[in-house]
Amino acid sequence: MNPDRLDLLIQGLFDGTLDDATRTELNDLLLESKDARDRYRRATTLHAALTRRAAAEPEAVNVVPFSARRVWVRNLAAAAAVALLGAAAALYFHKPGPKARVVAATDSQWGGSIHLAANDRLPANTPLELVRGVTEISYPSGAHVTLEGPCRFQLDKPEAITVLHGRASVHAPPGAQGFRVDTPGGRFVDLGTRFGLAVGSDGASPVILTEVYEGEVQVDAVAGKPRLYRGDARALLQDTGVPRLLTSLDADPVNVPRILPTSSSASPANNLALGKPVTSPGYCIRPHGSVFPPENLTDGRTDDTGVPGDWSFWLAPNGENGEFTVDLEKAQTIGRISLQNTANRRNNDRGIASFLAFVSTDNVYFTPVAEGSLPRIDTRASGPFPFHDFPFAPVEARYVKIVVTDHYRNNSRPPENENHSGGLNEIRVFSE
């Protein structure tokens, strides 16, 4: 709830200036927030009292037309109501609110005009977006929350956080039990533990993944408020209209890797491919947010991170090697590409084994410049995935095409299992 916006809408209601859109906005605010309804009741009670009092006062003079007197009464009541709202707002903002502070930041980039660094206090009741990087915030109770961009969140209450989209890891040490994480799919209560959370969407409903690393977590979103314990990993879905906790998602076990400070490492400033458009003949699309489009290849996110509906890597369609083309948007001299492989979130069933690299100035005629192989990602290792460089003689090019000639599979699965294809986390392109 934005108190200033609510005050403005209530004043407009008193003044009779709300149109259909703003009246609907006011109704929506009142429906979704008890604080908003309490604020509205206080304002309307005073407004009614002032209106009755003004109407009961004897007229001092008779030269003022009735219509003008009515306007004066209405404006007086509205002004008094605004004064009350101002006082209420002052009281509201002096209530104990979130006092979370940034304690560490790695390559953090924030959306909009927000700029937060170590020791900065995070604003309350304000939508926040961590575009890139990893940021750790601390609460007075000792609870710590680590966020990985891209992540949208908000601090509304003490000892709580609302994660709207993205990844978060929570640690509630002794004394911080009861720390809450609210999501579009429901609430998770930390009962003294460490756990990871990934909030995404399948395009129609929220998809929330959670894994308990230590201790226990209570899932208020599900009837009976079940608890999860160390080693438990679940997907929370609402696609049937009834919240469900599943141990697997699209035949894959639920897994939420811990957020590492280096897991969203900065892309070198001279990376010509960063943020550039990428096209592909096809990519893997499966239910519940398992979508892996080629634009993930140049978004600067690495190491199989992300959430359902917003993963950091590209996967070819099931059973295919795949290919993709990066548009550098203008012809320039390039002489090296750098590739980071994927294991598909530790499922170990995707990734490039070998490839050919081509360049072009017109996206029609392509010239081969390199070929090579990438090792399989070691899913047992911690830390960032390695990048592998492939230099070649400098050449003028606008388009860089990678054609996968072989890919990795999960060797523990039968040959007829369709869940395998080429895939890649990130491509970087350099002038030399």
Integer angstrom CA distances of residue 304 from 31, 194, 310, 321: 39, 21, 11, 19
Q: Is residue 267 part of a domain?
A: no
Separation CA 315–CA 154 (nearest Å)? 32
Residue 112: strand, helix, or coil: coil
Mean pLDDT of all residues in the chain?
83
Separation CA 190–CA 117 (nearest Å)? 26
When pLDDT is averaged across residues 421-431 and rounded to a whole number, the result is: 97
108 — phi, psi (to 5°)? -85, 130
Q: Is residue 34 part of a domain?
A: yes
- The answer on 424 and 297 residing in a single domain is yes
CATH classification of the domain holding 146: 2.60.120.1440
The boundaries of the domain holding residue 69 are 3-94
Q: Is residue 270 part of a domain?
A: no
Q: What is the predicted pLDDT for the residue at 45?
A: 63
Query: By mean pLDDT, which of 26-40, 61-75, 270-284, 313-327 is the weakest?
Result: 61-75
Separation CA 409–CA 393 (nearest Å)? 33
Contact between 14 and 46 under an 8 Å Cβ cutoff? The reply is no
pLDDT, tens only, 284-338: 987 776 789 999 999 888 888 877 777 899 999 999 999 999 999 999 999 999 9
Q: What is the predicted pLDDT for the residue at 3?
A: 65
Contact between 159 and 178 under an 8 Å Cβ cutoff? The reply is yes
Give the chain's end-to-end CA distance (angstroms, integer): 51
Domain count across the chain = 3
Q: Which helix (H) or strand (E) covers residue 331, if one does? A: strand 323-340
Q: Is residue 264 part of a domain?
A: no
- The answer on 375 and 236 residing in a single domain is no
State which amino acid sits at residue 262: T
Cα-trace Rg, the chain = 28
Task: Check residues 218 and 243 and name the one with the higher pLDDT.
Answer: 218
- The answer on 423 and 396 residing in a single domain is yes
Contact between 164 and 154 under an 8 Å Cβ cutoff? The reply is yes
- The answer on 80 and 160 residing in a single domain is no
- The answer on 120 and 79 residing in a single domain is no
* Widest pairwise Cα distance in the chain: 96
- The answer on 302 and 189 residing in a single domain is no
Q: What b-and-e string marks burial along 87-121, b requiring 16 or more CB atoms within 10 Å of the CB?
A: ebeeeeeeeeebebbbebbbbbbbeeeeebeeeee
Contact between 193 and 302 under an 8 Å Cβ cutoff? The reply is no
- The answer on 245 and 109 residing in a single domain is yes
When pLDDT is averaged across residues 259-283 and rounded to a whole number, the result is: 81
The band of 426, judged by pLDDT with boundaries at 50, 70 and 90, is very high
Whether the upstream peptide bond of residue 150 has omega within 30° of 0, thus cis, is: yes
pLDDT, tens only, 374-415: 999 998 887 789 999 999 999 999 999 999 999 999 999 999
Last residue of a domain, one of 56, 74, 94: 94
Contact between 310 and 150 under an 8 Å Cβ cutoff? The reply is yes
pLDDT, tens only, 337-387: 999 999 998 789 999 999 999 999 999 999 999 999 999 999 888 778 999
CATH classification of the domain holding 403: 2.60.120.260
Q: Is residue 115 part of a domain?
A: yes
Q: Is residue 261 part of a domain?
A: no
- The answer on 249 and 105 residing in a single domain is yes
